Structures are given as structure tokens and as C-alpha cells.
Amino acid sequence: PQPIYLKDYTPFGYLIDSVDLTFTLSPEATRVRSRIAFRPNPDASDTTFFLHGENLKLISAAIDGQSITPKLTDQGLTADAPNAPFVWEAEVEINPAANTALEGLYMSNGMYCTQCEAEGFRKITYYPDRPDVMAPFTVRIEGAEKVMLSNGNPGASGEGFAEWHDPWPKPAYLFALVAGDLINHPGQFTTKSGREVELNIWVRPGDEGKCAFGMEALKHSMKWDEDVYGREYDLDLFNIVAVDDFNMGAMENKGLNIFNSSCVLASPETSTDGNFERIEAIIAHEYFHNWTGNRITCRDWFQLCLKEGLTVYRDAQFTSDLRSAPVKRIEDVIALRARQFREDNGPLAHPVRPESFVEINNFYTATVYEKGAELIGMLKTLVGDAAYYKSLDLYFERHDGDAATIEDWLKVFEDATGRDLSQFKRWYSDAGTPRLKVSDDYSDGTYTLTFRQSTPPTPGQDEKPPRVIPIAVGLLGPNGDEVQATQVLEMTEEEQSFTFTGLAAKPTPSILRDFSAPMILQRDSSNAERAFLLAHDTDPFNKWEAGRALAKDGLIAMIREGASPDSAYLDAITAVARDDTLDPAFRALAMGLPSQDDLAQTLFDGGTTPNPQAIWDALETLRQARAQHMQDLAPRLYAQYQVEGDYQPDAAQSGARSLANTALGLITRLDGGAQAQRQYDAADNMTQQLAAFCCLLQAGKGEAAIAAFYDQWQHDRLVIDKWFSMQVVQAAPDQTAAVADALTQHADFTMKNPNRFRATLGALAMSPAGFHHASGAGYELLTDWLIQLDPLNPQTTARMCSAFETWKRYDAARQDLIATQLDRILATPNLSRDTTEMVTRIRG
């Protein structure tokens, strides 16, 4: 397959004034009739009339009423088009029931639904399927389904048909259609200018009790976008639909968002606190796309971060406002390091705005999304809050209705602030996580911080010139008082010093506060300094970071030198856990330990080949030592933070539960699961039940709970996903592959449902010691299943290949085992374009 390049962009030769679609639904033979009003695009030089189309059976085609025979390929068709406005008409037949790729129009549990982003519309009808071609759509659905939905506002409907009109010009990737036996949970919202908006969450019968939380989250999102960004909703109706079989989290189709049911359905009995927080964020994210994505979309798919980075940034702001800003920031940085830094350090590293791709679905990555959001945050830090919102107003004013680029986006900021952002643009074009080396010096009341930035080479990019970096710094005096409040240093050179004067003594620096730039800070720091910052830093992020670094240094010493658990860490973390003035959620996060994957990368960066089993052993030893060290405190915390009264998934209650369940983890290591069993038996919500279940599995006492859990929840597919994944994640490393293998034989396992597939085989890939077990059984099992899934669902297969992206870190024996599996995938006949691209890049 040929790569597509950003530099080759040219506009389409025609503009579209209107699109009329008629669907006659039938599971195996749906007919789609289209009537599209084209006219020549005065700005285009290439006038080829090419329409994308894949897996379509063309029944008829006509231009201006004259039947024609277009030239067909497996990518689409070409025809001779007049050099004047004309009407294109076509009829095609498609087979939704046979569509297991879940892209285009497909069936999920007897219901019709669509997924068009990025290039799925071409599996529905012939069309210029590119985001810069925008048009108003009118849709008629004919079928026997109870509920038949499309984008925009409802038009006429009656026995066997429903019509829809979306007045806002949109690219085809935002098209959606849903039809089936659905029930709505209704709601209502009045916009600030008085528009009455009808809201619905549509679900399968039986799920209607799990919609209330999502509906509230939607209303909060609508209000928040008005209050913070001045953005109002623009249709009379906003629909959300829950679908069981879905390749990702959710999709922002105009006026008709479609959600993976796991990302919208919630109830205290079946969802954890973490699920609630995530659902709230995803509902907000998709809603916010109405402005950042739909009203202003992307010119081409290279600009994906234009909508995704900004929308992730907006949903993070929303969560920070509704819940706790420090907790959200810490959670986001943990996720950024786990997924994006990992990607940036391996063969799949790519810029936030890539310059080429084979299959665009492979670029919905942590780099585009999460690093893309970090770039927005840095921009805001550099220009300041007021200038940020002024720039956003200008962005909406200037580009509403456009398909825009990163250049447009940066130009808005330059025009609104007078700043030159050419150096900032390197963050979009240069892949890799920059390293920031720090040294300091103190004499005569003057403190100097010297920074040196460098970015390691990434595929196709050897040299990385210095970027502009906002480094937020504060200084603490010897008694722990803050002697310099947070100040943003703007680094533009490769090496640069900043001075602070008038200091009575040498201060302790708190660098990269609130994680002001997505970098790896390299500073030789003593245990004493880390413990000091953990105790005194006023910046919650860096306070957490100091504890994390202390834990990490100790673990690295344990792994590398066989050291014992570090007592400085144990004392410091116990003091934090005991400190009732701190938010319980923060304390629970502070007690978290670096992940196995994070430790492996750190060892590798330091020149040591990571041994996955040794990493696992060190974490176990430290956890055990900590349980002993806190043996008096843990039961006290556990009792103190039990939540009384009705379950609420809010920040306060979830924080308390999170701390209590952290304490339960410690207790379990000493009592062998007795307390966890009591909690399991008494639990009346999923947070408590799952935390106890996880402790029991860890303690090797899970057998009864595994049976009981299944009995209790076998009717609920989302809860059973947890049952599948928890057993894999909690298995001992030499058992992980066997447990996953056995679960794939379970009657409830199906590879047609991405959630279930990920719950089982994704869990294997995310359990490093088990996945990388020296036997190679984990590699082989995952590969077997990826090869089986690829012909059915290339998108999910390709995404899960990233399990192998870290393979070059490991020893020669493991690399050989993995290379064998990668080659086995590549040798599979008819391997999809998606998976071929991913495995080729990983193999290197």
C-alpha cells in the first residue's frame, strides 16, 4: 500500500450544495440511493471526478438524469463530469450484517448503526470521502425499525419511514444512522440564548436504568461550554446512542453521538468510580466536538490533532472544574507517560501532526490526542489565560464552517497576541519526548538554574532543533516555606540559565510544576530533597511527583543492585498517607507505584536491559514491605474512609473509597484476604465489589469469588468484561497466558465484540511480567488471536499490535521470540492494510 503525504494535499475539484440520501434497510441487502448537487470548485486545478467507494454493489448511476457507466476500481469510481453544476445520482447495495469491521453501516445486536470516521462513509455510498468536502445532508430512512435516527433535526416520519435534515454543512465522516428497537432516556436543555433542546440517550431495552448519570453529564457539558468558551448548541435535538460493538470509545457525529455502551451506561451496582469519571469525560469530549471538530473541522487527516488535541484539552478542563484539578492532572500525566511517552520512545513514534500515513485509523494515537492536548496547555501557559480565550474567540469567529489546518490555528494565536509561534510549531512537527537536564548553583543570594534540552532521534527524524518550553518553577526555603511563587520560565535555547536573586539561603527548586511541558526531567536529586518536596511542595503535582520519584529510585536500586526497600520512601509515604489535611484522592494517588512498563523504560534509558520478572518481584517486595510498615495505619485509614449513606460517584466519595481501597490492598497482604472477603460479601456497589475481588485474586483466594461474580453478573456484558480482564491482570506472571488462553475458551468469549476481545487479550498485553514471560507463551497467544481477528476487524487488530512496540528494550532471547511472532503476522495471507502498516513499523 502507498503512503499518503501531507505535502501532496490538493483541494477536491467540486463543491457540494446538497446531499440527499435514502436508505431502504435490510440486514443483508440495504439499498442506498444518493442525489448529490455538485458544482466545479473555482479553487481547484485538478478536475478529476473521483468518488470513493469500497465494498459497494453499484446498481445504477446517472449525471443530470442520464444513466452512465462509471469506471470502477476497488477504491472508488471515476466519471466524466460537466464543467458546470450537475446532479449525481446513484443506487448501491450494501450488506450490514456481513460487516464485522464495524466501519460503515453495520449491525450490532440486531440494530443498525454506523461509524464513518475516518473513512467509513465510502462503505455506504460513492462520495468524495474527505473532511474538506462539506455539505448539508437530508436523509430518509425506510424500514420496519421502531426507532430510525440520523443527524440534525427530525423531519416527516410515519409508518415505515423517518426523515432527517441537518442544516449545518458537514464532512461525510460526521454522518450517522441508527435504527433498531431502542428506548430513550429523555432530557431537556435550554441554551443561554433560549433555544430549547431535546436530549435523548437511546439504549437497548433493559439498559434504561443506566442512563441518568450520562444525561446529567451531558447537561453539565452543555452549560460548561457556554460558560467557559461561550459556545452554544445549534440544533433542536441532541441524541446519544449506546452500541455494544464499537471499535473505540465514542463518536461525535453531528447531533447523533454514538457511544460504545461501556462509555455511557452507568449505575452504582455495575460501574466503578473510575467508570463514572471516564463516562462523564467522554460525554463531555464528544459534546465539545460540536464546536471543535464539527463546526470547525480538519482540512485533511494530517490535521487530526486540530480537533482531537483541543477537544481532549477542553474535556480535561471540564473534569478539573467539576472534580479536583490536581487529581485530574496527576491522572492525566500517569496516562500520558504510560501511553504517549511509551509511543514516543519506540518504533511507532510520530509527530503530533504526522506527515504521512498508510492507514489513517492507525494515527488515532496517544501522541495525536494526549500530546496534542499538552500542546494546547503549553500554548495557554505561554500566552496566558486571557490571551488564550481571546485567541479561541478569534478562532471560532474566523474559522466557523471551515475545514482548517494547524497553520490556521497558530495564525489565530499570532494575530490575537502578536507572538511569533514559529518555534512553538516544532512541537507539532518533531516527534520524540524531549529530555530536560537541570543543574543549579547558589552564591551570594543568587540562585541559578541551568537547563539543557535534547530530543532523541525518532523514525525518520534524526535532528531536533531546540523548542520553546514553558518551565514552571517555584523555590522553597530551608524550612519548607515557598520563597519564590510559581513563575513560568520560557526556554528557547538548547542551553539556558535563569537566575533568582535576593535569597537568604540556597533554595530547593520545584521544577516543571503542574507538569508544564511533556518532557522527561533529568535532575540528580537526593532522597532527602525528594522527601523534602514530598512534604513541603505547594504544587500538588510536584508534591506527588516527588513521592513518585522517591519510589522509583528505590525500585530501580532494588532491581539493579538488589537493594532493600528504601526506608526514606517508606517513612515519607507513610507520613503522606497519615496526613488528614490532604485530599484522600491525592493520598491514594501518592501511594500508587510506578508501573512495570515505566520501570522497564527507565531501566532501559539508564543502560540496563529490563527483566520483566525482576521488575514484578521488586514491586511485590516493596508492596509487602509497605504493608508491614503501615500495618497500624492501614486498618485505621480503612475504617476512617468508609463511605456512609447513598452512593455518589462524585470526587469526594470516590476519593474516600480510593484511599480506603488502597488501605485494603495493604491489609490483604497481611491478613491473606479476610477483610477483602468481608468487603466483597457486603459490597453494594461495583467500586467496592471490584476492589475486593481484585484483592482476593491477588492473594490467591479468588476461586470462590470468581464463581460468585460470574453467577451474579452473567446477564450484564459490561460487568462480565471486568470479570474477564481482572482475572488476567491479577494472574501470577507464569500463569497470565494460561489464564487468558482458558478465558478465550469460555462460552462468553467472542472476538466479534471489541470490548470482550480487549478485556481478555488486551489485558494480557497490559500485564508486562506475564506478557513478556520468558516462555514466550504470551507473545504466541496474542499473535494467534491477532491473526484470527484481522480478517474480521482490522482496526482493532492493528491497534492491539502496539503491545509489541517496546520489544527493542528487551534481551536477545525475547527479541527473537517477538520477531518470530511479528514475522508470523506479516506472513499471513491477505493481511489488512491496517495491520500490515503497524507491524511493518514495529518490526523496523
Rounded distance between C-alpha atoms, residue 645 and residue 426, angstroms: 52
- 3-class SS of residue 748: coil
CA quadruple 824, 825, 831, 836: dihedral positive or negative?
Answer: negative
* Segment contacting ligand B3K by CB under 6 A, of 77-85, 238-246, 285-293, 541-549: 285-293
CB of 362 to ligand B3K, least distance (A): 9
Instruction: Catalytic residue, from 142, 286, 331, 370: name it.
Output: 286
294 is a site residue for ligand B3K (CB under 6 A)? no
Partner that binds at residue 352, options Zn ion, ligand B3K, none, CB closer than 5 to 8 Å by kind: none
CB of 289 to ligand B3K, least distance (A): 6
# chain residues binding ligand B3K, by CB under 6 A: 12
For the segment 480-519, give every residue that binds ligand B3K (CB under 6 A). none
286 has catalytic annotation: yes
User: Is residue 118 reached through a cis peptide bond, with omega within 30 degrees of 0 on the bond before it?
Assistant: yes
For the segment 733-792, give every residue that binds ligand B3K (CB under 6 A). none
Can you give the C-alpha Rg of the chain in angstroms? 27
For the segment 91-110, give every residue that binds ligand B3K (CB under 6 A). none
CB of 817 to Zn ion, least distance (A): 36
Residue from 303, 317, 361, 542 that binds ligand B3K (CB under 6 A)? 361
Q: Is 765 left (phi over 0), alpha (psi -120 to 50) or beta?
A: alpha
44 is a site residue for ligand B3K (CB under 6 A)? no
Select from 453, 379, 431 the least CA-distant residue to 410: 379
CB of 316 to Zn ion, least distance (A): 12
CB of 578 to ligand B3K, least distance (A): 41
* Segment contacting ligand B3K by CB under 6 A, of 13-21, 281-289, 511-519, 715-723: 281-289
Select from 587, 550, 557, 540 the least CA-distant residue to 333: 540
Angle between helices 736-744 and 777-789 (to 10 degrees): 30
Nearer to Zn ion, 308 or 343 (CB): 308
- 3-class SS of residue 167: strand
Nearer to ligand B3K, 117 or 598 (CB): 117
Burial of 738 (0-12, 13-18, 19+ CB in 10 A): middle
- Grid coordinates representing 151 are 443527524
Rounded distance between C-alpha atoms, residue 185 and residue 526, angstroms: 56
Q: Return residues touching Zn ion (CB under 5 A).
A: 308, 311
For the segment 198-257, give every residue that binds ligand B3K (CB under 6 A). 248, 250-252
Q: Is residue 278 a contact partner of residue 265, using CB atoms and an 8 Å limit?
A: no
Rounded distance between C-alpha atoms, residue 304 and residue 360, angstroms: 10
Partner that binds at residue 114, options ligand B3K, Zn ion, none, CB closer than 5 to 8 Å by kind: none
Select from 671, 643, 670 the least CA-distant residue to 656: 643
Annotate each residue in 654-673 with x if it binds ligand B3K (CB under 6 A) or - if it does not, as one string: --------------------
Select from 339, 367, 337, 335 the least CA-distant residue to 351: 367
Nearer to ligand B3K, 306 or 436 (CB): 306
Partner that binds at residue 89, options Zn ion, ligand B3K, none, CB closer than 5 to 8 Å by kind: none
286 is a site residue for ligand B3K (CB under 6 A)? yes
Rounded distance between C-alpha atoms, residue 544 and residue 378, angstroms: 20
* Segment contacting ligand B3K by CB under 6 A, of 282-290, 458-466, 586-594, 693-701: 282-290
Partner that binds at residue 248, options Zn ion, ligand B3K, none, CB closer than 5 to 8 Å by kind: ligand B3K
Nearer to Zn ion, 263 or 576 (CB): 263
- Grid coordinates representing 197 are 433542546
Rounded distance between C-alpha atoms, residue 713 and residue 709, angstroms: 6
Rounded distance between C-alpha atoms, residue 362 and residue 349, angstroms: 12
CA distances to 188, 527, 532, 605, 765 from 541, rounded to whole Å, are: 38, 18, 14, 24, 29
364 is a site residue for ligand B3K (CB under 6 A)? yes
CB of 263 to Zn ion, least distance (A): 12
Q: List CB contacts of 22: < 8 A, sequence separation 6 or more.
A: 31, 32, 33, 34, 139, 140, 141, 142
Nearer to Zn ion, 314 or 323 (CB): 314
For the segment 296-355, give every residue that binds ligand B3K (CB under 6 A). 308
Count the neighbouring beta carbons within 10 Å of the beta carbon of residue 12. 19
Residue from 56, 81, 113, 118 that binds ligand B3K (CB under 6 A)? 118
Residue from 117, 145, 244, 280 that binds ligand B3K (CB under 6 A)? 117
Residue from 170, 285, 657, 773 that binds ligand B3K (CB under 6 A)? 285
Partner that binds at residue 364, options Zn ion, ligand B3K, none, CB closer than 5 to 8 Å by kind: ligand B3K
Nearer to ligand B3K, 290 or 661 (CB): 290
834 is a site residue for ligand B3K (CB under 6 A)? no
**Amino acid code (one letter) for 580:** D
Nearer to ligand B3K, 138 or 297 (CB): 297
CB of 404 to ligand B3K, least distance (A): 16
Q: What does DSSP say about strands 196-203 and 237-243: parallel, antiparallel, or unpaired?
A: parallel
* Segment contacting ligand B3K by CB under 6 A, of 58-66, 284-292, 464-472, 675-683: 284-292
CB of 140 to ligand B3K, least distance (A): 26
Rounded distance between C-alpha atoms, residue 101 and residue 119, angstroms: 12
Contact residues for ligand B3K, defined by CB under 6 A: 117-118, 248, 250-252, 285-286, 289, 308, 361, 364
Residues with a catalytic annotation lie at 286
